Each structure stands twice: as C-alpha cells, then as structure tokens.
Amino acid sequence: MARILVIEDEPDLRQVLEYNLRDAGHEVTSFAEGRPALAWTERESMDLVLLDLMLPDISGLEVCRTLKGNPRTREVPVVMVTARGEEIDRVVGFELGADDYVVKPFSVRELLLRLRAVLRRGVSPAEEAAPATAPIRFGALTLDVAAHRVWVDGNEVSLTPLEFKLLTTLYDRRNRVQSRGALLDDVWGASQENITRTIDTHVKRLREKLGPVGAYIETVRGVGYRFVGSPLEAGKLREAP
C-alpha cells in the first residue's frame, strides 16, 4: 500500500481516481488546487504524487518544480496527468523531474500499472545483486544501493529516484550498450512512445550531477548508452547526445 497525493481539479475524474486507487489498496489524499496541496506536503508524507498540469490556481509544472526543489519532497515520485500530449510538454515535465507522464484520456487500468511501476523503481538490478552492507566502488564513483546514496571522489551527490535507477541500471549492465528503447522500458517501467529525448535529457542531467564520473556513461552513436567496463576506458567513446 502506498500513500498517494492526487492533485486534480476535475471533480468527476478526481472521484474516479480516488475510488480506483483506494480499491487497489492505496491511501489517497486529494486536492483540486496546487497551493493547498503544497501546504499539505509541508506537514504530511507521501509515496507518490499524481499531478494534473492545468490547475485553477497555479500551474502543475510550478507544483512539480516546488516539490523537486524542496529537500523534504524532492525524492517523492511525481506522475503528471494532462490533456497536453505534445512532445515538448512531456520533455519539459521530465526536465523538471517528473517520473512519468500520462495523457488524458487514459485507461485507469493502464494508469494503475504505471503507478505500480513507478513505485517499484526503488529497487534496482544492482541492488538485487549486491550485498546490502557492501557499497560498490568503481573508480571515483561509490554506490550504496541499499541506502540509495552516491559519492564522487568522496563527495555525496544528490540524485532523484529516477536518476539513481538510471545510474544503477547502466552500472549493472556495464560494458554493454543499452538502447534508448530498452532504458525506457527498464528504467521508466512503461513505454513512453519512443520519446528518445526523455532518455537524452536524463542522461545529460545525470552526467552533469556526476561531474568527472559522468564520463563513465558513454554515448554510442545511433544505438544508445554504455557504462564503461573499467574507469580507465572513460572518454574513449563519449559523444554529446
């Protein structure tokens, strides 16, 4: 069971979401506007936010930006729900840190499956393979998959759950090229209609946060991305996406 915050101004849709989420075993709190929802997040905890972009008081994008900029809520997954389905809208949402983007009208069954996929992203392939008490050291990079923490040259780097999932997935498959489609399926947990810019945007942001260790993630032109097999290989194949 997860505690889900729903921010949706359409009363009928909000009721449908509340009913189906509760029927699936989740605890639901809902708001029709963004500002009271943000005030609630300052007092309460949640496992996921289901966020409409077109709200009557403030933009859902602003709500997402606020949540991701607050240390208290930045690790909480955000799934955007909107009637705006153009690629640029989705890219902006992902750049702000959204974990998934669902376009109206949608199937409630599909939405529940995608929410379940987002909620399950806390466990990565590397985490399943590594002892919980043994951080992974790879050159200047240190990964503690059990604690979901990352260090570069001894300095901790703050990653979102999605960025951490992307990093550990690439690391777990190091020295093997991963296509953008495979990463969409395995990291996002559901098809994003082959929006390759989604992957490129997140890899670019991840590289920037990792600084010199960002070179461990190589671009293989026309194919996808590859985590180097050895720290000494970094930079040999890298090209800007």
- Give the pLDDT band (50/70/90) at residue 38: very high
Report yes or no: 60 and 51 within 8 Å, Cβ to Cβ.
yes
Model confidence, pTM: 0.58
Q: Would the CA dihedral through 183, 189, 193, 198 be positive or negative?
A: negative
Contact 220, 226 (CB under 8 A): yes
Which helix H or strand E contains 172, and what residues bound it? helix 161-172
Q: Give the tens place of pLDDT for each residue, 20-35.
A: 999 988 999 999 999 9
The correct CATH number of 3-122 out of 3.40.50.2300, 3.40.50.720, 3.40.50.300, 3.30.1130.10 is 3.40.50.2300
SS (H, E, C) 35-48: HHHHHHHCCCCCCE
Instruction: Decide: 214 and 208 in contact? Cβ < 8 Å.
Output: yes
- 15 Cβ partners below 8 Å, 6+ apart? none
Q: For domain 125-233, which architecture applies?
A: Orthogonal Bundle (1.10)
∠ Cα 164 170 173 (to 5°)? 140
Instruction: Check whether 88 has a pLDDT greater than 70.
Output: no
**Could you tell me the residue ranges of all domains in the chain?**
3-122, 125-233
Q: What is the mean pLDDT of the chain?
A: 83
Residue holding tokens 């996808």?
224
